[in-house]
Structure 1
Amino acid sequence: MSIRFKIGILALVVTASVSVMALTAIFSVRNLSDEVDLLRTHQIITQLSVVKLSRDMNYLSRLSRDIMLGGDYERDIKAVNDIADKVSNHFDLLYKAADNFETKGLITKAHYDTNDWLNSTKVVLAELGKNPTEDRHKAYKEYERDITPKAMKARESFEKILQCSEKDFKGGVEVFENTMARSATAVIIVSIIAIVIIVLSFVVILRTILIEIENRRHAEEALSASDKTARALLDGIDNSTYLIDPDGIVLAINATAAKRAGKDANKLVGSCLWDFYLPSGISHKRKQMAAQVIATCRAARFEDERNGLIFDHTYYPVFNDAGAVVKIAVMSIDVTEQKKALKALEESEKRFRTLIEDAPIGISMSRDLRYTYVNRAYTTIFGFNDPSELIGTYIGDRIAPQCRSEITGLVRRCLDGGKVPFEFETIGMRKDGLRFPCYVDITRLTFDDGPMSISFTRDFTERKQAWDLMIQTEKMVMIGGLAAGMAHEINNPVGIIIQNLQNIERRLAVDSPDNQAVADGLGINLPQVGSYLDKRGIFKLLVTIRNAGERTARIVSNMLQFSRKSDSEHKLSDLPLVIERTMEMAANDYDLMKKYNFNSINFVRHFSPDLPQVKVNVTEIEQVMINILKNSAQAMSCYGTPDPEINLSAYREDQMVVVKVADNGPGMDEQTRKRIFEPFFTTKEVGFGTGLGLFVSYTLITQSHKGVFTVDSIPGNGACFTIKLPLD
């Protein structure tokens, strides 16, 4: 702290103390003046209002007598009403001037008594107005009897208000005198304190100034000794140091700088630093940096290259007592080797980062169970567009809830130095909430700021889907084989039943000679037997059994054809017939787990009569149609569609044959519609669907038949599946 600054502080203390004394006196006087004015104002307003009130009420009495003595009634009544308005105004002023509850209570009572006097007078005068002028004087005694007590009561109230006001004034004067005494005491105390502060400030600051002068003397002596020490230290360091003035003239230089300049240090002192450097560009840059330090009063750091060497320069400002930059201290460090090492390190880091970023496997780093780094593959696996969306988030959010605690536990164990499985399977969760199977490998790395967990993640959705699809395919092959075996086993008894039914019908025929001969031999009237069987409905029952048998035979035939191993051969086929046969197979789906019944669905057919035949794999087309019909039937059943209906249409459109299957079920939202053909995606309950039916159907249409398979749907308005097969 400089001496000038300390003197300034002393002046500030004196000024502040004197100001406080003056402000205290001014504030005290002003408060006293305000109190006196307020006290006098209240007394004057109260007294004037009571005087005017008494005067107006006395005038009221004179008006009353004037009316009783035969005066102008209309004029006097008008004057009475004016007095009532004035009385109200007087009391308003009294209320405003009142400053305590006692005075306000007296004013309220006086107001009540005055209104009683005034209202009673108005009643008497109103009655007088009904009498002849010459008879009004007769009411004088009644007036005196009723009005005079009320007038006296009101006047007494006026007197009490004046007495209370005088009392308040005297009390206020006493308060004023006490306040004045306290204010004077406060001014005296503040003045004494201010004088003491001024004296102490003088003593303390003058003492510190003397101490500082003594310290400066000792410092100058110590500085002379430290200069020698500093010179030894500067000469001993392996960096160039200079001390220059704003024009670049060297004031001091260490041994290292002189050695690099190739001259004696004593010869360099007094020369211009800018003349040391070639080419001129280096000299110009360093001169600019010196000018910047002088202008900003801040240190500047920069690098330049000279003769194949890279130097790191720092220019430090040196200030005088006034705070101006008068010198510049220069520190130059040869950082050539460090730069080469840093460049090699950066190139190595770049190669390593490229390797990590472009790695096909998802890599992430985390600390405290929150991501600190993810590569592009990891971002893509979990459905994000930018790695910044994951940085700082909780790693458990990317794991399915049922696996979350297990994974976070493994990460903690790994960070604590425990052993974790080399590679384990879990269920990840993408940004949109979709879950998928993945392999995760967790390891631990220790950095300068502590350990971190590194995880390597691989999405094996496609591998798992392929595996599940292979298993499903094997199941379908097995089911097809079982269906073929069952069809062969059913076909034999069905054939026997149909054959025997035909024999029974022939044995009951009335027009058969053989039947008639047997009946005559037994003494039976064959026409009567025929009539009995007809009336009892036996023939109808036989026809029903025969139709059921033939239907069973068709079902067996369809099962045999469906279960036959699909090959790549495509044959010209009549699509309406294929669709009809598929509907018969679907209608006989007797799985008790299903909640739908094809017999309750109304099928509407719109098949173009000139529809050409199409080359298709019949078995695959039947499989596709069965999947579509079952999905529609189950959707309408679960939704509770009152009149379920499926519209089937087939027509030609350019070089394509179009097949449409539309229902009036619940339909589906846009998100479900977009995913309806994804493998393993299903909206059914567990146990009612694998999510492969429409995926397999889509594959058969688009890959095996080179066609198009789409679906259109609006929630609440059903769904329409469209298949387009090329004629070519």
Structure 2
Amino acid sequence: MTAPKVGADPLAEAQRRLLDALPERVLVCRLDGRVAWASALALTLLGRSAGELEGVALSDLVVAVARPPQGVTLLDHLLALPHGEGITAEAVHRSGTQMRIDISASRAGEGTAIVMLRPVPATDLATAVCAHDETYELVFEGAPVGIFHFDAEGVITACNDAFVRIIGSNRRILIGLRMETLPDPTMKRHMRQALSGQRAHYEGEYRSATGGKVTSVKVDFAPIFGATGRVVGGVCIAEDVTERVRAQEALRRSAESFRTLIESAPDAIAVHRGEKFLLVNPALVRLLGYETRDEVHALHVEDVLHADELDGYRHRVPLMLHARQQFPMRELRLRKKGGETITTEVATIAVEYEGGPAILAFARDVTERKALEARLAQADRMATVGTLAAGVAHEINNPLAYVMANLELMAKQLPSLSAETEQEVSFFREALAHSKEGCERVRVIVRDLRIFSRAEEDRRVPLDVNAVIESALNMAGNELRNRAEVVRELRPLPPVLGDEARLGQVVLNLLLNAAHAIPEGAPRAHTIAVATADRDECVEIRISDTGTGIPRELIGRIFEPFWTTKPVGVGTGLGLSIVHGIVRAHGGSIDVESEVGVGSTFRVLLPAARRVTAGTPRARPAPPAPDAPVRSSRILVIDDETRFGRALRASLGAHHDVQLATSGREGLGILLAGEDFDLVVCDLMMPDVSGMGIYDEIRRARPDLTERFVFMTGGAYTDQARAFFEHVTVPRLEKPFDVAEVERLLRRVQADERARRP
């Protein structure tokens, strides 16, 4: 068994060797009264091995003749006695026999105590001590601590080499020295106390009168009794504790540095043992919303934990305090003074603090970071939905295009049917009209859906705000009509330089918020008013509702991310935050007026673009007037969507010579073969050769045809397509389109050719 290592004391092993070398029965006990170490003589006295003694209670080994006061342990009773005093007791041998002893105790350091067991034999113990037999001489000279004897007059009669080294003098000077002549009054006082029959203890710096050396020492004085019980001298045991003092000083400075570091750390730090806070720094006080650290010290640790964190905390604390198990950094929800919940990242380690195991915790508030991560995740989901919307629009537009083309063709053929079947013609005409109306509604929905896709990546172009509002109203139409009547007051406006998709998102979110503020079931009792106005340098969008309104104390929070008054599962708390960000990014502002029970009005101001600068992207060319004459022409249709190509060829074939190519490669081959066409209607995206690839080849081989190109698209734009249209001003038709639009473009091409003729 080795002596307990208290903290990082470098002399623990030296103490063990010293105590084991002394002619004393020594026990080292923890302050809970259990044995941590025993000297060899103590093991012999008690008849036990080191392993048998470790952890045994002192009260199980020693029975006091006079019992300690009620509720006081034997060790606490001994430590409460005046220094050097002991009590009479019986030591219990392993065999069950008992021996009369004198037992005393003294604190040895943080967390431990030294217990001395001195048998009381029939003969005077002092006689045996002073006999200077061979065994004692060996112990005296070989002890790692300094020892000297002095007689009843205080004259040093013997000292060992260790004492000589500690004092820094030599044996010839020390032996015979009368201690009463020493300049140090403390040493003289302790020597006199020993000669009076009492023990004495001294610890501090001692300056040697004979050697001049200053040493940090721990000194114990004890009397030596003769056979008659009279004090015949004394013995002193001195230990050089310079290294220990230095270590303690270094530890003190380290502790001060540690405390300074904790006090000034930007992260919240606490030391706690179970439920009790032992140390908190100012950052933790601020994090929890308190004014002083005394307020936090008065709390239990569980008081600052979210209810859902308690079970995990109660599971981890015993493992850290007793098993010293470490846990990785984790997220932990804490409760602030006012009850607000915050999310923190917490790292914890087990430490020794103030004489016992404790937990050192570092906490960092990541509430804003988590909100940002959630916003980014939401933005990513929205981007994914936008990409999906563009793809869905493209896939819907292609079949919708040929359905509408066929319906239009059928409508043109109806008048040629026999008059005898007028009833059937009327029926088919009505059915076709309804079908076209349904297709048109799908076309509008798909067009509006594409506005909210990523097809146009934050491109700032001159926008008609009223048109953006109409698209948003179409998107939200079903939700609005079940809640309120919509009142439009859209006045003529100057254009706004902005991104159509993002501004459409602003209007749509505000419309949906207005709808959700109105209870369902009475749409005629409520209104949602949408108005616009030209405010000189700004364009105003005003959306009002007659809903429940917003309490005055909450208006300041409605644009905060993840804050919402809607029930769980209805809103994410991101809508108005995103609206605010988009409006600010466009150089505008947004504010709100609201009254509970009356309704709310959101007002958006956007900078007007009175003049379009040279760097502004070009708007799509306007088609020519519909009443311009058109002659029969040759038209090449290139589209890998065969059904749509056939429907378009059939619709145009009544007045024009239409040739169909069902792949990009086939269309390119026809054009490179030298055939001449008045108009080339080409799909933008095809799997083999895209419309852009065809155009680039024709621009090199037959540049005269480039002015006759028209592109068709279902709405799915790649980065390459967006870059292409930045540099090429080719007309575009958005599927599905009316066949009449092709003829209008043909009129424009024919008009341009007439204008170029001399």
Shorter-chain TM-score tier: 0.3 to 0.5
Report which of the two has the higher share of strand.
Answer: 2
Report which of the two has the higher share of helix.
Answer: 1
Larger radius of gyration: 1
